[in-house]
Amino acid sequence: MKIHLKIWRQKDAKAKGKLVDYMLDQVDHHMSFLEMMDTLNEQLILKGEMPVEFDHDCREGICGTCGMMINGQAHGPVPGLTACQLHMREFEDGATIYVEPFRATAFPVKRDLKVDRSAFDRIIQAGGFITANTGQPVEANTLLITHETAESAFDSAACIGCGACVATCKNSSAALFTSAKVSHLAKIPQGEKEAAKRVLKMVSRMDEEGFGHCSNTEACEVECPQGISVLNIARMNWEYTKANLLKD
């Protein structure tokens, strides 16, 4: 199939970027989107041009590395997918596809489609963990957790930190990402002890990093490749209010 690409090229964070046109005429519809990008890059390199820089690694939809706006949607048109799991059979022969980086103040562009998402790591550093040193923890089965609680904690813990929620939010809010971790750890008994401190610190760091506020449009849930629910945001707000009310 034939594909017309309009790809955002930008040398670094300071440079001015622009959309550049590329044509590919032998795209196999079984290819993944990133394999199509590999094909383009191979051609660019052979012509002596710089390939399009984009982040990717596992290509199994789990590492969270790949992320780009495809036709204005984070990870492209199919719901519940990362870009690496998107296949060319989703596009028409002769289609024009816009490819741009995730845009958010807190995610500066490094080059082309590569952005800096280290703000997410700093949110985790602020308290997205259980304070448990390596050593002699209690026997695992002394801590009973019902099937339903474990499954529900897992649903929140499944976030891959890809940043699609931020990219698709009109306020560039990191509420879905942060709330997923807050919920995962608050739901299980091991994480309960620090829940109040954790949510206050994480929310405050999220604000400091330049992410916007959540205004409940729920676009994040629609774009999330892992189907993380906005109910996590509700839980985060509840945990936050509770912590604020009860703090000394």
Partner 1 sequence: MELDAKIPAGPLETKWSQYKAQAKLVNPANRKKLPVIVVGTGLAGASAAASLAEQGYPVTSFCFQDSARRAHSVAAQGGVNAAKNYQNDGDSVYRMFYDTLKGGDFRAREANVYRLAECSLNLIDQAVAQGVPFAREYGGYLSNRSFGGVQVSRTFYARGQTGQQLLLGAYQALMRQVSLGKVNLYSRHEMLDLVVIEGKAKGIIARNLDTGLIERFAAEAVVIATGGFGKIYYLSTLAMGCNGSAIWRAHKRGALMACPSWTQIHPTSLPQSGDYQSKLTLMSESLRNDGRIWVPQLPDEQRAANDIPEQERDYYLERRYPSFGNLAPRDISSRAAKERIDAGFGVGAQRNAVYLDFSKAIKEQGKEKIKEKYGNLFSMYKKITADDAYAAPMKISPAAHFSMGGLWVDYELMTTIPGLFAIGEANFADHGANRLGANSLLQACVDGYFILPYTLANYLSGELKKEKITTDHPEFDRTEKEVVTQLTGLCELKGTKTADYFHKKLGKLLYDKCGLSRSAEGLTAAIEGIKILRTAFYKDLIVPGTAGEINSELEKAGRVADYLEIAELMCHDALSREESCGAHFREEYQTADGEALRDDENYCYVSAWEWRGKNSLPVLHPEHLKFEFIKLSVRSYS
- Binders of partner 1 among residues 173 to 202 (CB under 8 A) are 184-185, 188, 190-191
Binding pattern for the stretch 200-239 against partner 1, x by CB under 8 A and - elsewhere = ----------------------------------------
Q: Tell the smallest beta-carbon distance from residue 4 to partner 1 (Å).
A: 19
Residues 63-82, mask of contacts with partner 1 (x by CB under 8 A) = xxx--------------xx-
| H-state helical runs in the chain | 33-46, 118-125, 147-157, 164-168, 175-187, 189-192, 195-208, 219-223, 231-246
Contact between 170 and partner 1 by CB under 8 A: the answer reads no
For residues 81 and 74, what is the distance between their CA atoms, to the nearest angstrom? Answer: 9
Nearest approach, Cβ of 203 to partner 1 (angstroms)?
A: 16
Phi, psi of 209 (to 5 degrees): -75, -10
Residue closer to partner 1 by CB (options 81, 174) is 81
Q: For partner 1, which is the closer residue by CB, 126 or 214?
A: 126
- Interface map 90-119 toward partner 1 (x if CB under 8 A): --------------------xx--x-xxx-
- Structure tokens belonging to residue 172: 């560039």
Does 62 interact with partner 1 (rule: CB under 8 A)?
yes
φ, ψ of residue 201 to 5 degrees: the values are -70, -40
Supply φ then ψ for residue 89, to 5 degrees. -65, -10
DSSP at 42: H
Does 245 bind partner 1 (CB under 8 A)? Our answer is no
**Tokens matching residue 209:** 């990093």
Structural tokens at position 50: 């710089």
Footprint on residues 27-56 left by partner 1 (CB under 8 A): 28, 30-32, 34-35, 38-39, 42, 44-46, 48-51, 53, 55-56
One-letter amino acid identity for 73? Q
